[in-house]
Amino acid sequence: MKLKIIISKWQRTIQLTLFILCANGWETTVLASADNTSVESSSWRLELDNDIYFSKDDNISSGWSLQKYSAVAQSWDTLEHVPEFVRHWGKAIPTLTEDGLIYRVGIAFGQIIQTPKDLSRSDLIKDDVPYAGALTLQTTWHAFNDDEFRGFQITVGVVGPLALGEQTQSMFHVLTHSSDPKGWDNQLENEPVINFNYMRKQKILRWGNPAELSLDMTINGNAGLGNLFTHASMSLELRFGHNMTRGFVSMPDPIGFSMHYMASLKPPNPEAAAFYGSLAFKGTVLAHNIFLDGNTFSDSHSVDKEPLIGIIIAGLHYERKNWGLHFNIMATSDVVDANGTQVREGREQLGSVNIVWRF
């Protein structure tokens, strides 16, 4: 019953949000015929991240983002429905322009929430992670083909009460008849955040018949710099399936830690469904995480973090001509360093559902 209530509420939220954005002129091509759509078309994506799939409600508890991607183009100058200054940035960012690549811009608005394990306590829980929320706006420029990917992302936003983490979690708990979280008075203070992310991917192995069963392997390097997250990551990504879309699989992104992008190209048989699985093994060196280190410019609750984190992400993906559905689960090694302290260790465990519409 709880799951049905959650799905029903999210459906109404999705419909209302898309109506408002379209009504404000975000993208007039939503009226175009679905017969002209493909994975290279202008697209919306809704990402819902939550640890409810693991029957838990702590650490990174939930996140969501609504993302809009332009249709792909052969140059930054020919991107449609993209402001001129945004296209200019694409040309100006080093490495993002090269023969043989195609180009796309994305924008995303989203939120992420972190809580300690015991939501019934109203006092400051010193042996667990802080209450925290972030509300962000992100712009991503990416250039890619079926062999390589290059992307750059700017994230701006706010951490603290202005991010509305308390209101969002309280509303969700009312809808799911869960206990009301009591400790939001102890959340991180208001702080503006800005982050920069750069990512490179390169395919290193292909096997099988792309129109039928095939496999590919990609190596991925990613670095982030800012007062939200500062880190460097390397990962190995595997895809295996039938009539897979060309290009690269998208991984779930708790806001700012990785990158929002859509780097898919038409599958060998564009009229048939693409169905495939993915598996990623990621290692991260983490220098700064505002959710664990606390506020940058003021004193706040914090915990010692682990500087090295291992992450596994497994996914199932189903793509049609004008829509797609993606489900991922993510698990990490311990993110909190409890050595010699009373702080509770904790691993991040999240499920992620991505719904894609193309116009």
* Boundaries of domain holding 222: 2-22+41-358
Q: What is the pLDDT of residues 37-82, one digit of tens each?
A: 678 899 999 999 887 766 666 677 788 999 999 999 999 999 999 9
Contact (CB, 8 A) for 149 and 204: no
- Size (the chain), residues: 359
Say if 28 falls within a structural domain. no
pTM: 0.85
Please give the radius of gyration of the chain, using alpha carbons only, rounded to the nearest integer.
20
Burial class of 234 by CB neighbour count within 10 A (0 to 12, 13 to 18, 19+):
middle
Query: Quick one: pLDDT at residue 65?
Result: 94
- Residue 306 DSSP label: P
Query: Quick one: pLDDT at residue 245?
Result: 95
Say if 34 falls within a structural domain. no
Mean pLDDT per 10-residue segment, the chain (359 residues): 42 42 37 54 92 69 92 95 94 96 96 90 91 96 97 97 93 82 94 97 96 96 96 97 96 83 94 96 96 93 93 96 94 81 68 92
Query: Quick one: pLDDT at residue 57?
Result: 62
- Residue 101 DSSP label: -
How far apart CA 300 and CA 132 sit, in angstroms, is: 11
Say if 291 falls within a structural domain. yes
How far apart CA 285 and CA 335 sit, in angstroms, is: 11
Say if 33 falls within a structural domain. no
Q: Angle at Cα 116 formed by Cα 332 and Cα 63, nearest 5°?
A: 60
Residue with tokens 């192995």: 205
Q: Where are the alpha helices (DSSP H) in 203-264?
A: none
Burial class of 329 by CB neighbour count within 10 A (0 to 12, 13 to 18, 19+):
middle
How far apart CA 233 and CA 355 sit, in angstroms, is: 26
* DSSP bridge partners of 60: 114
Say if 69 falls within a structural domain. yes
Say if 80 falls within a structural domain. yes
Task: Tally the domains of the chain.
Answer: 1
How far apart CA 248 and CA 147 sit, in angstroms, is: 9
How far apart CA 135 and CA 256 sit, in angstroms, is: 11
Residue with tokens 């296209």: 87
In 3D space, the residue among 141, 311, 295 whose CA is nearest the CA of residue 234 turns out to be 311
**Residue 13, domain CATH:** 2.40.128.140
Say if 29 falls within a structural domain. no
Say if 54 falls within a structural domain. yes
Residues 6+ apart with CB under 8 A from 352: 47, 48, 49, 50, 252, 326, 327, 328, 329, 330
